[in-house]
């Protein structure tokens, strides 16, 4: 094996380890944010959407799906198992769609990238609200219960949208990811 081939193989292994570590870190944050919530009438407002949207902006689509879907599934499995499959599908699709849209807009400038991220996270918010409303109707067998929770689902989704954009663009998380060559950004 030549020196160049070995260097390339070492770089690929290093990139793979980085990918696993960053994905696992965001997944752990998602599980933590799924474990507690802000009490509201009829339940809790969870902060996991903030982590899911942030990860979807920063990470590739597969990592975003793992963070959103699998992380939410595990969080529900540990703390509140009834809607765990709803979380797997809804948050998984939400994160996947956001990441796909954001990564298609990477070639654009920073202002256009922000707008692409805003649109992507808003689409993800709609996916989350619709997915959870339909899922809770199925899990709890009552449309009324799902409608009672609807305003809080919308609030949770919007918190994820605006919080993730603040973290990525105003707090500079996106620049940090670019500087350390994490993800595809």
Q: 111-170 pLDDT, tens per residue?
A: 688 999 999 999 999 999 999 999 888 887 788 877 888 888 999 999 999 999 999 999
**Residue that is written with structure tokens 């799906």 in the block:** 65
Contacts of 136 (CB under 8 A, 6+ apart): 83, 86, 145, 146, 149
Residue among 38, 28, 34 at smallest CA distance from 49:
34
Question: In which band, very low, low, confident or very high, does the pLDDT at 99 lie, cut at 50, 70 and 90?
Answer: very high
Per the CB < 8 A criterion, the answer to whether 56 and 98 are in contact is yes
The CA distance from 131 to 52, in Å, is 15
Which DSSP state fits 168?
Answer: I
pTM: 0.89
Neighbours of 173 (CB within 10 A): 18
Q: 59-93 pLDDT, tens per residue?
A: 999 999 999 999 999 999 998 888 899 999 999 99
Architecture per CATH, domain 3-179, reads as Orthogonal Bundle (1.10)
Contacts of 64 (CB under 8 A, 6+ apart): 52, 55, 56, 95, 96, 98, 99
The CA distance from 31 to 161, in Å, is 18
The CA distance from 87 to 177, in Å, is 27
| Half-sphere exposure of residue 28: CA atoms within 13 angstroms, side-chain side | 6
Quick one: tokens of 178?
């670019």
The burial class, CB within 10 Å (0-12 / 13-18 / 19+), for 16 is exposed
Q: Give the mean pLDDT of the chain.
A: 88
Q: 37-68 pLDDT, tens per residue?
A: 888 876 778 899 999 999 999 999 999 999 99
Per the CB < 8 A criterion, the answer to whether 145 and 117 are in contact is no
Q: What per-residue confidence (pLDDT) applies to 57?
A: 96
Quick one: tokens of 43?
């339940």
Question: In which band, very low, low, confident or very high, does the pLDDT at 4 lie, cut at 50, 70 and 90?
Answer: low
Q: What per-residue confidence (pLDDT) applies to 62?
A: 97
The CA distance from 33 to 35, in Å, is 5
């Amino acid at each position: 094996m030549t020196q160049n081939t070995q260097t390339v193989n070492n770089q690929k292994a290093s990139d793979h380890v980085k990918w696993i570590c960053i994905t696992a870190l965001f997944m752990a944050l998602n599980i933590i944010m799924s474990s507690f919530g802000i009490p509201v009438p009829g339940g809790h407002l969870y902060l996991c959407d903030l982590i899911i949207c942030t990860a979807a902006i920063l990470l590739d689509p597969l990592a975003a799906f793992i963070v959103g879907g699998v992380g939410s599934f595990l969080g529900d499995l540990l703390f509140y198992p009834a809607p765990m499959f709803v979380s797997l599908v809804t948050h998984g699709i939400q994160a996947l769609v956001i990441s796909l849209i954001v990564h298609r807009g990477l070639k654009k400038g920073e202002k256009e990238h922000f707008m692409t991220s805003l649109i992507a996270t808003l689409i993800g918010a709609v996916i989350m609200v619709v997915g959870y409303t339909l899922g809770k109707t199925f899990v709890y067998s009552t449309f009324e219960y799902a409608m009672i929770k609807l305003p809080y689902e919308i609030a949770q989704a919007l918190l994820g949208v605006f919080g993730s954009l603040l973290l990525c663009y105003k707090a500079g998380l996106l620049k940090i990811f670019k500087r350390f060559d994490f993800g595809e950004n």
